[in-house]
């Protein structure tokens, strides 16, 4: 926001120097990016944060300087003389949720021409070009009050009716910038009985703009829905000083004042007569908001006592009408300070005017550190485990295109899509984390790192069916590497790290994006209670081709919330074994359909007192094994915690396992 100091002088009894104003504003939280000379006056380029909408005007910055320097602030007095016939204009709001108030004043017999020197100088000092006296007044009042205005040529309004409504889908309008814009039925317009005259809150139309031949004008002052203006401006890639302010929120009480102020100035610079009355529709709510602050709370927050007289003085200078009631100060926050609605907001106002530099900095700051909650600890354990296994964390984009989303959508599901007016490309939310990880892997591949090992946790989205009212959102964690055994081993380690009592079982099952027959569901067993936590497998060849990946990849995608729920932060310790273990490796021949998960479950399901663990080693197939069969090698570990095991004791238990496998799976020991 550019403010000219000689313009500011209209509202203050005295004006600080540019250097003093810059320093004061910076210390009060408004960064001044630059100070320069323009048209014989100092201009401050102030970076105003989006919550301080009151400072998007010269009056707003004048109020701020008045509070900082204890100056007297005065609003310009407006005396509007009305004469002639009534306006003869009708205004109707058809979408009150998008426009809460609309007013129109008719000014007849104006003489449109060059602006007087004072008006041109004021606008040019802040970088605005002079157009004509009527348009210049609307721009001057916009920059003065923060309330956008627009002037129409009254004779270009058909049937003298103004309709505030959304556009017809596909309707077009040529704006005053000379470009044609295609509208849709979400965009708010100001129109008449024939069609749109302006894109509401964004830019006027060429057909009704004020020109040198204009005699009568209609002066608009309104309040529009900020989200509506923002979405329209972004969809059309059309931005203006008006849309900038409307989409951030304006002072509701300023609409009527700005209209009167502009009408009075138009009479001054262009002549004419203002028709009696203001034609309006809708209403404005601009009552002060009651907010209280406790002096004791100020001290608690700041760590220093601000004198009560100083607190009351600061709040009074800010226009909050403070009144001490018991142990609290009751304030009435004016409508132009929409950012103030809580006690902490008032405390911030007090300290920024009292001076941040007066808050002492202590060498030791006491701060109670609460213990980490279970959720944070679980996520931390997962991150450290994955990093220890060689994976690097990635943060990828949430949006993908439709073709990419279809690679990972569940059967019958559809992607969650945003409007093409908002995003023309990549307008679907990711249904899987693997979309981003595969992109990242391709990028690493193209930059010389062929086998990037990555993980990420975030939300994914999809709709169970087309037209579903509420999309499904799920928090997941995913990892990707070049080998399936590495991914599978990491998932096992992850599950064990979260809960030592948990055991991972893989059940073969196809999943979107994974190779058929080389994928499965990850089932976590805790006390024999199964929980489906996600899928694991090799990435499908067609997906590899889609991302132009030249090296094989495997991945897992797991339900983050279920993993967090299984987290057991209490670690159990056991003494180191006093006696050695005995390991036996077996290679058994079974049918191809027999799964390792079933073999492992069968062995762990029998009561063998010395069996400490069973691990998968590998699978082998050839003609010697036999058609339709495979050789599965497994490793058995035995240990007696009380004494050294003898081979005969282990042989008996191995024989029991072989008998079980022969009965359950028709397994036999592989010869040779």
Query: Residue 332 maps to which CATH number?
Result: 3.30.56.10
Are 277 and 302 found together in one domain?
Answer: no
Q: Where are the beta strands (DSSP E) in 482-591?
A: 502-508, 514-526, 529-539, 554-559, 582-591
Kindly report, residue by residue over 468-485, the tens digit of the pLDDT: 678 889 999 999 999 999
Residue 31 tokens read as: 């960064």
Q: Within 10 Å of residue 44's Cβ, how many Cβ atoms? A: 22
If pLDDT is split at 50, 70 and 90, which confidence band does 423 have?
confident
pLDDT over threshold 90, residue 613: no
- Domain of residue 623 covers 582-669
Residue 426: predicted pLDDT: 85
Residues 345, 410 share a domain: no
Among the candidates 536, 565, 594, a domain finishes at: 565
Measured CA distances, 540 to 30, 191, 399, 544, 557 (Å): 54, 55, 22, 6, 14
Distance CA 339, CA 53 (A): 8
Confidence bin at 74 (pLDDT 50/70/90): very high
266-270, 308-312, 483-487, 606-610: least confident range: 606-610
Cβ-contact 35, 22 below 8 angstroms:
yes
Interval 235-255 mean pLDDT: 94
3-state secondary structure of 621: coil
Instruction: Give pLDDT tens digits for 49-63.
Output: 989 999 999 999 999
243 & 129 share domain: yes
> Is 75 domain-assigned?
no
| 575 occurs within a structural domain | no
pLDDT of residue 361: 83
Residues 650/638, Cβ–Cβ less than 8 Å: yes
Residue 522, SS3?
Answer: strand
CA angle 287, 293, 294 (to 5 degrees): 155
CA-angle at 538, arms to 533 and 543, nearest 5° = 110
pLDDT, tens digit (0-9, with 9 covering 90-100), for 335-349: 999 999 999 999 999
Asked whether residue 364 is domain-assigned, the answer is no
For residue range 110-155, list pLDDT tens digits in order: 999 999 999 999 999 999 999 999 999 999 999 999 999 999 999 9
User: Please, what sign has the CA dihedral across residues 27, 29, 35, 40?
Assistant: negative
- On whether residue 508 sits in a domain, the answer given is yes
Is 363 within the bounds of a domain?
Answer: no
d(CA 20, CA 22): 5
Judge if 108 and 171 occupy the same domain. Answer: yes
Tell me if 388 is assigned to some domain: yes
Give me the helices (H) in 466-595, please: 484-498, 541-546, 560-565
Question: What number of CA atoms fall less than 13 Å from residue 238's CA on the CB side?
Answer: 27
139 and 119 part of one domain = yes
Indicate the residue among 69, 99, 126 that finishes a domain.
69
In terms of phi and psi (left: phi > 0; alpha: psi -120 to 50; beta: otherwise), the region of 123 is alpha
Q: If pLDDT is split at 50, 70 and 90, which confidence band does 600 have? A: confident
Q: For residues 42 and 121, state if they share a domain.
A: no
Residue 587 lies in a domain: yes
Q: What CATH number did the domain enclosing 657 receive?
A: 3.30.70.380
Asked if 508 and 636 sit in the same domain, the reply is no
Residues 308 and 275 grouped into a single domain: no
Q: Are 120 and 138 contained in the same domain?
A: yes
Q: What is the pLDDT of residue 672?
A: 62
Whether residue 85 is contained in a domain is answered as no
Q: Which of 18, 39, 69 is the last residue of a domain?
A: 69
- In sequence order, the 6+-apart residues with CB closer than 8 A to the CB of 562 are 524, 531, 532, 533
Instruction: Say which residue, 191 or 366, is predicted with more confidence.
Output: 191
Number of domains in the chain: 5
Is 308 found in the same domain as 260? no
Shared domain check, 271 and 335: no
Residues 227 and 351 in one domain: no
Q: What is the pLDDT of residue 577?
A: 87
Kindly indicate the confidence band of residue 421, based on its pLDDT and cuts at 50, 70 and 90: low
């Amino acid at each position: 926001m550019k403010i000219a100091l000689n313009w500011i002088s209209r509202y203050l009894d005295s004006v600080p120097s540019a250097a003093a104003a810059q320093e004061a504003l910076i210390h009060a939280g408004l960064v001044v990016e630059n100070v320069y000379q323009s048209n014989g006056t100092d201009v401050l380029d102030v970076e105003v944060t989006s919550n301080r909408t009151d400072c998007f005007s010269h009056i707003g910055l004048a109020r701020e300087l008045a509070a900082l320097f204890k100056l007297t602030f005065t609003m310009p007095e407006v005396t509007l003389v009305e004469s002639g016939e009534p306006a003869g204009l009708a205004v109707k709001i058809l979408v009150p949720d998008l426009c809460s108030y609309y007013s129109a004043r008719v000014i007849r017999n104006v003489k449109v021409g060059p602006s007087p020197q004072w008006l041109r100088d004021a606008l040019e000092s802040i970088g605005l070009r002079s157009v004509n006296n009527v348009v210049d007044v609307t721009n001057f009042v916009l920059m003065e009050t923060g309330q956008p205005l627009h002037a129409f040529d009254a004779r270009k309004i058909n049937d003298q009716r103004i309709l505030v409504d959304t556009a017809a889908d596909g309707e077009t309008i040529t704006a005053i910038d000379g470009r044609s814009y295609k509208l849709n039925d979400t965009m708010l317009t100001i129109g008449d009985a024939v069609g749109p005259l302006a894109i509401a809150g964004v830019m006027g139309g060429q057909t009704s703009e004020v020109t040198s031949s204009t005699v009568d004008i209609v002066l608009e002052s309104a309040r529009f829905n900020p989200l509506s203006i923002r979405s329209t401006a972004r969809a059309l890639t059309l931005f203006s000083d008006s849309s900038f302010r409307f989409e951030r929120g304006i002072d509701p009480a300023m609409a009527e004042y700005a209209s009167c102020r502009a009408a009075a100035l138009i009479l001054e610079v262009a002549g004419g007569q203002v028709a009696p009355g203001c034609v309006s529709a809708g209403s404005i709510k601009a009552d002060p908001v009651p907010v209280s602050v406790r002096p004791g709370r100020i001290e608690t927050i700041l760590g220093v006592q601000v004198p009560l007289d100083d607190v009351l003085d600061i709040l009074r200078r800010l226009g909050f009408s403070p009144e001490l009631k018991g142990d609290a100060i009751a304030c009435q926050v004016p409508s132009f300070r929409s950012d103030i609605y809580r006690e902490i907001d008032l405390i911030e106002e007090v300290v920024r005017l009292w001076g941040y530099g007066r808050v002492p900095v202590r060498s030791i700051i006491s701060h109670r550190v609460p213990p980490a909650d279970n959720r944070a600890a679980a996520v931390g354990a997962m991150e450290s485990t994955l990093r220890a296994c060689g994976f690097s964390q990635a943060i990828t984009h949430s949006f993908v295109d439709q073709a990419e989303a279809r690679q990972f959508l569940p059967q019958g599901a559809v992607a969650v899509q945003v409007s093409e007016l908002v995003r023309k490309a990549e307008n679907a939310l990711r249904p899987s984390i693997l979309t981003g990880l595969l992109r990242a892997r391709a990028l690493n591949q193209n930059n010389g790192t062929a086998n990037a090992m990555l993980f990420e946790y975030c939300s994914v989205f999809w709709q169970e069916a087309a037209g579903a009212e509420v999309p499904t959102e799920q928090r997941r964690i995913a990892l990707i590497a070049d080998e399936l055994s590495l991914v599978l081993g990491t998932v096992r380690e992850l599950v064990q790290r979260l809960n030592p009592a948990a055991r991972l079982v893989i059940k073969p099952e196809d999943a979107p994006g994974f190779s058929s027959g080389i994928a499965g569901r990850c089932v976590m067993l805790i006390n024999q209670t199964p929980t489906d936590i996600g899928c694991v497998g090799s990435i499908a060849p067609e997906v590899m081709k889609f991302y132009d990946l030249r090296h094989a990849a495997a991945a897992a995608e797991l339900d983050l919330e279920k993993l967090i729920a299984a987290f057991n932060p209490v670690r159990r310790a056991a003494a180191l074994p006093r006696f050695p273990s005995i390991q036996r490796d077996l290679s058994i021949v079974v049918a191809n359909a027999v799964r390792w998960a079933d073999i492992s479950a069968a062995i762990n399901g029998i009561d063998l007192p010395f069996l400490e663990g069973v691990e998968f080693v590998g699978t082998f197939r050839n003609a010697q094994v036999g058609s339709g069969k495979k050789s599965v090698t497994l490793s058995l570990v035995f240990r007696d915690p009380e004494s050294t095991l003898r081979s005969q004791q282990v042989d008996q238990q191995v024989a029991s396992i072989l008998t079980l496998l022969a009965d359950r799976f028709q397994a036999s020991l592989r010869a040779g």
